[in-house]
Amino acid sequence: MKSNSAVRNLYVLPCCLLLLNLCAGVIGYKFKVIEDPYARTAAVMGMILFGGGVVGLVLEPVVRALVGSLQRNSRRGAGLLGEILFLILLGILVFWLYYRSTILGPQSLLPPDWRN
């Protein structure tokens, strides 16, 4: 139980916060269509505050349960090595999303129909 808490505090929650930051970048990109800078700033702040609440109250427990389940299955199927591989793959996924957002821009994370 103690290792699950450490994984949650040191890995899963930071991954959720990194994903929230990616969402903030996408929101900032999408809200560039709002001409008024004050309205755009208020809209971005509102979405970030709402998104922080969603991540903290809803998304983080869901991701924690999903990661916990996948982690247990990886550990059961391949032992400690399976668990470590799973966590590495999760980190690679978050890194890849950040890479695309940084190099290609936040629009690269959106389907073509949703781009400005």
pLDDT tens per residue, range 68-114? 787 777 777 777 777 777 778 888 988 899 899 889 988 888 888 88
Residue 40 token pair: 């755009």
> What residues have CB less than 8 Å from 64, skipping those under 6 apart?
8, 12, 13
Instruction: Name the most confidently modeled range: 38-47, 48-57, 69-78.
Output: 38-47
As a whole-number percent, the residues of the chain with pLDDT over 70 amount to: 91
Question: Higher pLDDT residue, 22 or 7?
Answer: 22
The encoded tokens of residue 2 equal: 């103690």
Picking from 5-9, 29-33, 58-62, 98-102, which range would have the lowest pLDDT averaged per residue? 5-9
The whole-number pLDDT of residue 7 equals 65
Phi, psi dihedral angles at 55 (to 5 degrees): -65, -45
